[in-house]
């Protein structure tokens, strides 16, 4: 029986608790009275994944069975979640390969032979050949790659098709009689139309939904066009909370329940951290993928499937809290969707806590307006030269001039959106799109405007200042700095993540 998430109040007997620092972690003794929010253990998963997939495709929600929607001559496009998700990466065999094989077997059985497979990476970096092979499996890759019917989406491709003014999509998707959209779901944001609306559309269409000032109205308008112009069968695979392999199992456990193996694992990991360069620490997580399980497979109508998956994610991740805190403690996860296979640069670290963690609520932020966020990461100014070229330029050239999102939007965005060099790197060198650093930065704006102070513990001071934040050597120093705004005895909440928590603040 899985245990739900809960909030622990620190007392004199509470041991030092884990705080994530990206590719590292620390044990920190927190002030008495601190509220520590622990995620739930994973709900029971499906016993037979193959059977769950076949059942979902055969008895979909608010739609005909997939086999009934296929016939000889049908042009079929299968879009699927790209390698950036989930993070950490999934241990082999990848669930996507199982789903794709079941869909392709159904298609072959009714004589469908015009099939295209498209990774829905959107403005994220394209997958390498090896990454694609790992996602779809050797069998599917061998059958489709050499025929040029398997590949990553190109948001700058010249042959994108305009479905309506301002809405351009991948040609294989636009030309298909039926689109099967395979989505790995690990948060509420992954359900529904999101993957198609931002993952297989042109750069301008995607950016209209991700850029500064984008709201739900814009996303709804794009989704409405897709719903009108495309025939879609949605397949969502809801993942559980198992993000760490056995050798890193201590990262997902409650500290007072650590066994000898967990303590030894933590000591060994800390020793590795002490001697390994930051880039090498990141590689440790790349070589230790997560043993995710599957909670459910839903297929059918996009809205109905999204609603079912959202309900299950809420059951898995929601933790009820009473009242907002004066101070929120958090640290970036070891790997995010923005740095799979790359060092966690300062922009990604800031995004992970100031956007993903801050927004992971049912509506009310965990920290009060004007409160403080105290965050943990070294913020070393290191960038992957292949994947994050635009982010390195943004950090070096834009942030010294301004951290204001509105000014960045007005003065610098046109270059990053339209620069041919960034577009070429995205199209041919597996780099993130030129607007990627702006997407990360804009996403932090809500937290920055909400909080009175943002302080990074253990961070490079020059980097923190360039980002517009402050740095402290220790948690005690950070609380002293924050005391001007939150007082000497603030209420403190620590998000003990990952795995994920959806905070329901009452």
pLDDT tens readout for residues 249-283: 999 999 999 999 999 999 999 898 888 877 777 77
The count of residues in the chain is 506
Are both 372 and 393 inside the same structural domain? yes
- The Cα 418–Cα 489 span in angstroms is 49
268 within a domain of the structure (yes/no): no
Does pLDDT of 291 surpass 90?
A: yes
- Domain end marker among 210, 239, 268: 239
- Domain end marker among 190, 220, 239: 239
Token pair, residue 168, equals 């351009």
Q: What are the tens digits of pLDDT across the range 296-332?
A: 999 999 999 999 999 999 999 999 999 999 999 999 9
pTM summary value: 0.96
> Which range of residues forms the domain containing residue 102?
49-239
Token pair, residue 30, equals 């927190």
Does pLDDT of 112 surpass 80?
A: yes
263 within a domain of the structure (yes/no): no
CATH of the domain at 138: 3.40.50.11440
CB count within 10 Å of CB 318 equals: 16
Given its phi and psi angles, is residue 137 left (phi above 0), alpha (psi -120 to 50 degrees) or beta? left
CATH of the domain at 461: 3.90.226.30
Q: Give mean pLDDT, residues 192-199.
A: 97
413 within a domain of the structure (yes/no): yes
Are both 30 and 95 inside the same structural domain? no
Are both 14 and 76 inside the same structural domain? no
pLDDT at 441: 98
Of 181, 427, 190, whose CA–CA distance to 301 is shortest?
Answer: 181
- The Cα 382–Cα 385 span in angstroms is 9
Are both 232 and 327 inside the same structural domain? no
Are both 23 and 134 inside the same structural domain? no
Could you tell me what percent of the chain has a pLDDT over 70? 100
98 within a domain of the structure (yes/no): yes
Are both 11 and 60 inside the same structural domain? no
Does pLDDT of 287 surpass 90?
A: no
The better pLDDT of the pair 282, 380 is held by: 380
- Domain end marker among 191, 215, 239: 239
Longest CA span, the chain:
72
CB count within 10 Å of CB 304 equals: 17
pLDDT at 282: 73
Task: Report whether 351 contacts 316 (CB < 8 A).
Answer: no
**pLDDT-derived band at 215, boundaries 50, 70, 90:** confident
Per DSSP, the residues of 308-361 read: HHHHHHHHHHEEEE-S-EEEEEE---SS-TT-TTS---HHHHHHIIIIIIHH-B
280 within a domain of the structure (yes/no): no
Are both 32 and 100 inside the same structural domain? no
Are both 71 and 140 inside the same structural domain? yes
**pLDDT-derived band at 225, boundaries 50, 70, 90:** very high
Q: What are the tens digits of pLDDT across the range 326-373?
A: 999 999 999 999 999 999 999 999 999 999 999 999 999 999 999 999
Are both 428 and 448 inside the same structural domain? yes
Are both 230 and 354 inside the same structural domain? no
Q: What are the tens digits of pLDDT across the range 450-501?
A: 999 999 999 999 999 999 999 999 999 999 999 999 999 999 999 999 999 9
**Mean pLDDT in the chain?**
96
pLDDT at 147: 85
pLDDT at 397: 98
133 within a domain of the structure (yes/no): yes
Number of domains in the chain: 2
Are both 337 and 213 inside the same structural domain? no
Q: What are the tens digits of pLDDT across the range 120-172?
A: 999 999 999 999 999 999 999 999 998 889 999 999 999 999 999 999 999 99
pLDDT at 103: 98
Task: Report whether 327 contacts 479 (CB < 8 A).
Answer: yes
Are both 56 and 182 inside the same structural domain? yes
**Eight-class DSSP state of 211:** S
410 within a domain of the structure (yes/no): yes
185 within a domain of the structure (yes/no): yes
Q: Using alpha carbons, list the distances in angstroms from residue 33 to 29, 30, 311, 372, 455.
A: 12, 8, 32, 17, 21
């Amino acid at each position: 029986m899985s245990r739900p998430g809960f909030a622990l109040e620190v007392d004199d007997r509470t041991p030092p608790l884990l705080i994530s620092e990206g590719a590292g972690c620390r044990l920190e003794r927190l002030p008495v009275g601190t509220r520590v929010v622990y995620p739930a253990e994973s709900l029971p998963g499906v016993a037979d994944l193959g059977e769950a997939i076949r059942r979902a495709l055969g008895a979909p929600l608010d739609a005909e069975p997939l086999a009934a929607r296929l016939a000889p001559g049908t042009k079929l496009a299968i879009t699927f979640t790209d390698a950036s998700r989930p993070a950490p990466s999934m241990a082999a065999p990848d669930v996507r390969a199982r789903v794709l094989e079941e869909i392709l077997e159904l298609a072959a059985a009714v004589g469908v032979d015009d099939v295209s497979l498209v990774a829905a990476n959107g403005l994220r970096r394209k997958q390498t050949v090896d990454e694609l092979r790992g996602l779809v499996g050797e069998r599917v890759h061998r059958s489709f790659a050499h025929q040029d019917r398997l590949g990553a989406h190109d948001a700058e491709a010249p042959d994108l098709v305009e479905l309506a003014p301002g809405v351009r999509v991948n040609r294989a998707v636009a030309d298909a009689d039926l689109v099967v959209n395979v989505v790995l779901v690990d948060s509420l944001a992954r359900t529904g139309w999101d993957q198609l609306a931002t993952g297989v559309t042109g750069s301008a269409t995607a950016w209209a939904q991700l850029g500064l000032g984008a709201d739900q109205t814009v996303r709804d308008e794009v989704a409405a066009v897709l719903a009108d112009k495309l025939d879609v069968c949605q397949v969502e695979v809801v993942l559980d909370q198992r993000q760490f392999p056995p050798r890193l199992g201590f990262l997902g456990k409650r500290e007072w329940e650590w066994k000898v193996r967990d303590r030894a694992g933590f000591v060994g990991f800390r020793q590795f951290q002490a001697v390994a360069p930051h880039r090498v620490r990141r590689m440790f997580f790349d070589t230790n993928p997560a043993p995710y399980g599957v909670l459910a497979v839903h297929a059918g109508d996009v809205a109905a499937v999204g609603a079912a998956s959202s309900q299950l994610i809420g059951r898995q991740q929601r933790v009820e809290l009473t009242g907002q805190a004066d101070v929120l403690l958090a640290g970036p996860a070891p790997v995010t969707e923005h740095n799979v296979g790359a060092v966690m640069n300062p922009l990604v670290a800031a995004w992970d806590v100031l956007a993903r963690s801050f927004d992971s609520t049912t509506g009310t932020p965990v920290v009060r307006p004007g409160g403080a966020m105290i965050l943990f990461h070294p913020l070393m100014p290191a960038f992957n030269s292949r994947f994050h070229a635009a982010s390195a330029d943004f950090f070096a050239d834009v942030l010294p001039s301004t951290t204001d999102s509105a000014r960045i939007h007005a003065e610098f965005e046109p270059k990053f959106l339209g620069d041919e060099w960034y577009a070429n790197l995205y199209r041919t060198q597996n780099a993130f799109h030129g607007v990627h650093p702006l997407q990360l930065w804009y996403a932090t704006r809500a937290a920055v405007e909400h909080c009175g102070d943002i302080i990074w513990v253990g961070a490079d001071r020059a980097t923190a200042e360039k980002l517009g934040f402050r740095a402290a050597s220790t948690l005690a120093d950070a609380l002293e700095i924050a005391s001007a705004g939150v007082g000497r005895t603030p209420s403190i909440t620590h998000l003990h993540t990952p795995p994920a928590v959806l905070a329901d603040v009452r």
